[in-house]
Amino acid sequence: MRSLKIENLSKSFGGLTAVNHVTFQVEQGEIMGLIGPNGSGKTTLFNLISGFLAPDKGNIYLGEKSLVGLRPHQICKRGIGRTFQIAKPFSHLSVMRNVRTAVFNWERTISGANRESEGLLEFVGLWSKRNESASSLTFMERKRLELARSLGTHPKFLLLDEVMAGLTPVEQQKMIELVKKIREGGITLIVIEHTMQIIMTLSDRIVVLCFGEIIAEGPPQAVAQDPNVIKSYLGEKYRFA
């Protein structure tokens, strides 16, 4: 069982420190929630892990191997996938070919790739739209496509960046089901979210970031009652039963 280890990670932009000596570990099979106020460094952390940014200090280990210095596509091939806050499908490709692009990492033949893509689309509930242009999808459908695409790369760890943002409560419920299905498939998840309710129900463990530093870490109940967290993020009046 390989774990994802973030060790003493730091990143600054000009004078602004976005991520400050962050250390944590994600074990295979769990759902880890990552929360914090806007600008606390969550997406920067994702960018660092997935290789879109290079850290100033610290290291990232998948098992024994360091990921620092690798390009994003290499990190993806090692088994770490990610989604983006704003889901952007490849609009000139059909829904199926969008997924197929990812699947080609593992499939050699076109027919094999087509088959696997269709399977993934069925998994996320987009099979009926497989031949439509990706630009014709609704907002929720784009998020499903984004998930199917990331799943096509056979990730062991999946970084979900605010996958619930902008969805109606009904859609959010469906998305939660989908995320749980993904975990059941054996994929470890790190989830950034803003809606406390969702994070509490989904996560096995939560890490709280504030101004680029971890201010709390642990099971949802413990984190929700942590005085530091309440002060910096949830607010004094927040009550969670």
Partner 1 sequence: MFKKSIANSLFLWFGLILIAILLPFFLPPYFIHVLVMILFYAYLGTSWNILGGYAGQFSFGHAAFFGIGAYASTLAFVNWGISPWLGMIFGGLLGMLLGLLIGSLCFHYGLRGPYFALATLAFSELLRLISLNLDLTGKAMGILIPLKGNAPFSFQHESKIFYYFVILLMFIGVLWITRCIDKGKFGDYFTAIREDEDSAEAIGVDTFAYKLLAILISGFLTALGGTFYAQYFLYIDPAITFGVGNSIEIFLRPIVGGMGTVYGPLIGASVLGPLGEVTRGLLGGYQGVHLMIYGAILVSVIIFLPNGIYGWLRSLKKKHRD
- Enumerate binding residues for partner 1 (CB under 8 A): 50-52, 71-74, 76-77, 81-84, 88, 90-93, 97, 100-102, 104-105, 110, 113, 149-150, 152-153
Residue closer to partner 1 (CB basis): 41 or 152: 152
The 3-state secondary structure of the chain, one letter per residue: CCCEEEEEEEEEECCEEEEEEEEEEECCCCEEEEECCCCCCHHHHHHHHCCCCCCCEEEEEECCEECCCCCHHHHHHHCEEECCCCCCCCCCCEHHHHHHHHHCCCCCCHHHHHHHHHHHHHHHCCHHHCCCEHHHCCHHHHHHHHHHHHHCCCCCEEEEECCCCCCCHHHHHHHHHHHHHHHHCCCEEEEECCCHHHHHHHCCEEEEEECCEEEEEECHHHHHHCHHHHHHHHCCCCCCC
CB of 192 to partner 1, least distance (A): 15
Residue closer to partner 1 (CB basis): 6 or 76: 76
Residue closer to partner 1 (CB basis): 20 or 98: 98
Residue closer to partner 1 (CB basis): 26 or 103: 103
CB of 55 to partner 1, least distance (A): 18
CB of 118 to partner 1, least distance (A): 15
Residue closer to partner 1 (CB basis): 21 or 78: 78
State both tokens at 131: 């031949």
Please count the other Cβ atoms lying within 10 Å of the Cβ belonging to residue 166.
14
Residue closer to partner 1 (CB basis): 57 or 92: 92
CB of 97 to partner 1, least distance (A): 5
CB of 40 to partner 1, least distance (A): 22
CB of 232 to partner 1, least distance (A): 30
